[in-house]
Amino acid sequence: MIPEYYEFQNMGKVCSGKLALEHIPYELSMKHASRPLILTDHTLEKLGMLKLLQKAMDGVDTTHVFADIYPDSSIDTVRQAADFYTRCGCDSLVAMGGGSVLDTAKGVAMVISQDGADIYSLIGCEELPQGKPVPFLAVPTTAGTGSEATCVAVIAHPQKDVKLEFISGHIQPQVSILDPRMTQSLPPRITASTAMDALCHAIEAFSCRQKNPLSDAYAIAAIRLISSHLLTAVTHPKDMEARMAMANGSMIAGAAFSNSMVGGVHAIGHALGGVCHIAHADAMAILLPHVMSYNLDVCTDTYSELLLHLAGPGAYAAANAHERAQKSIETIRSLNQTLHDTCDMPITLAQTNRITPDQFEAVAEKALKDGAILFNPKALGKDFIIRLLKEAY
């Protein structure tokens, strides 16, 4: 069904393949940029990934590097990096890392494009004027957040203990560089949970209230890629084909949810992160089948179709839509169980060792204030969230 009105913003250019990194100099030159600020973190630096990137950027000045970026990037980090960019006289951004590095780079792109405005003054700026666009290339090193294809940045305000959301089409990277060398050293445990985050983006995009024909097309492509290559990427980390499929699936899921938004899994997952510091990807894997079960009665047809993309035509032969929809949820449960057995990914809240039942009320209250809850296909109240947390425990 086509919504009465919808918008869809396409992602930027994609360079995907074995030597994608080596295309960076050309992409920068096409944007008349020659002095990029490279944003990354010290772990990737120690793993030799920064050297690999610098070597691939042959002929470009790669001496300006900002690596003081830590998990859950903060507005202080954005201020420092933007300051460094200006002091070094840089003219572009190349961000290599996971969600935290990419979100920091988005913050820097925002500040620079707005003539150095303070990041705090740009919160929630859907109408952020384009300003002076900063050439911005993203090189993701995980296959999960899809941040390289989204117009959203989540940046922490440590003094206020909150995560701020920045939304603008102008902070979306102009080029995503997907190179299998970037993800092949990810350990199985991280590969598994980040992949479940990506799958969750695609499934929520496919079933949430703002879905539209274009976001569906992206979500379906992502679901097919992720579900058919996830286990190979976990069990055979060096398998280039599986790594490329996961990198593409994650990016495409990012483009889907950046337009159709995510729902209850993310609303409760963000609250679990805020109250109990449960890792985002773990929370997604744990909550996904429970929220799907809750949504089942209003998503029967959607979840029925989902089975075709998740498990292929053979599995789709189940007798009726309700049975197929239930089978979709069972497929997610069984995928979770396999990942738990293979690499110890937690599949219950108790297994994270970060939450006790007396915190459920606080989690539910925080989830109700999360923007994603508005897009869940079925209204979620406090009692239902607490019931769902008990089931997931």
CA 89 and chain centroid, separation:
31
CA-CA-CA-CA torsion sign (298, 327, 301, 264): positive
Q: Nearer to Fe ion by C-beta: 24 or 203?
A: 203
Q: Closest approach of Cβ 274 to Fe ion, in Å? A: 14
Q: Which stretch binds Fe ion (CB under 5 A): 125-133, 193-201, 240-248, 372-380?
A: 193-201
List of residues 6+ apart from 389 with CB closer than 8 A? 268, 349, 357, 360, 363, 364
| Helix 264-276, helix 280-295: angle, nearest 10 | 140
Q: Nearer to Fe ion by C-beta: 91 or 197?
A: 197
Q: Closest approach of Cβ 197 to Fe ion, in Å? A: 4
Q: Nearer to Fe ion by C-beta: 295 or 304?
A: 295
Q: Which stretch binds Fe ion (CB under 5 A): 25-33, 57-65, 192-200, 318-326?
A: 192-200
Q: Closest approach of Cβ 257 to Fe ion, in Å? A: 8
- Contacts of Fe ion in 113-152 (CB under 5 A): none
Contact criterion met (CB below 8 Å) for 221 and 313: no
103 touches Fe ion (CB under 5 A):
no
197 touches Fe ion (CB under 5 A):
yes
- DSSP secondary structure of 177-190: EE-GGGTTTS-HHH
Any alpha helices (H) in the chain, and if so which ranges?
24-30, 42-46, 49-56, 75-87, 99-113, 188-207, 213-235, 240-260, 264-276, 280-295, 300-315, 321-343, 360-368, 382-392
Q: Nearer to Fe ion by C-beta: 114 or 193?
A: 193
Q: Closest approach of Cβ 243 to Fe ion, in Å? A: 20
CA-CA-CA-CA torsion sign (363, 366, 367, 372): negative
Q: Closest approach of Cβ 369 to Fe ion, in Å? A: 18
Distance between CA atoms of residues 150 and 171, nearest Å: 8
282 touches Fe ion (CB under 5 A):
no
Distance between CA atoms of residues 230 and 192, nearest Å: 7
Q: Closest approach of Cβ 142 to Fe ion, in Å? A: 11
Q: Nearer to Fe ion by C-beta: 113 or 193?
A: 193
Distance between CA atoms of residues 274 and 268, nearest Å: 10
Q: Which residue is nearest to Fe ion (CB)?
A: 197
Q: Nearer to Fe ion by C-beta: 148 or 197?
A: 197
Q: Closest approach of Cβ 266 to Fe ion, in Å? A: 6
Q: Nearer to Fe ion by C-beta: 27 or 197?
A: 197
Distance between CA atoms of residues 107 and 78, nearest Å: 6
Q: Closest approach of Cβ 196 to Fe ion, in Å? A: 9
Q: Which stretch binds Fe ion (CB under 5 A): 68-76, 190-198, 329-337, 378-386?
A: 190-198
Q: Which stretch binds Fe ion (CB under 5 A): 16-24, 191-199, 286-294, 317-325?
A: 191-199
Q: Which stretch binds Fe ion (CB under 5 A): 81-89, 161-169, 195-203, 332-340?
A: 195-203
Distance between CA atoms of residues 132 and 233, nearest Å: 40
Strands 162-167 and 152-157 come out as: antiparallel
Q: Which stretch binds Fe ion (CB under 5 A): 162-170, 194-202, 238-246, 314-322?
A: 194-202
Q: Nearer to Fe ion by C-beta: 134 or 278?
A: 278
Distance between CA atoms of residues 311 and 359, nearest Å: 36
Q: Which stretch binds Fe ion (CB under 5 A): 62-70, 189-197, 209-217, 375-383?
A: 189-197
Q: Report which of 285, 392, 293 is spatially closest to residue 340, judged by C-alpha positions.
A: 285
Q: Nearer to Fe ion by C-beta: 67 or 332?
A: 332
Q: Closest approach of Cβ 234 to Fe ion, in Å? A: 18
Q: What does the binding site for Fe ion look like in residue numbers (CB under 5 A)?
A: 197
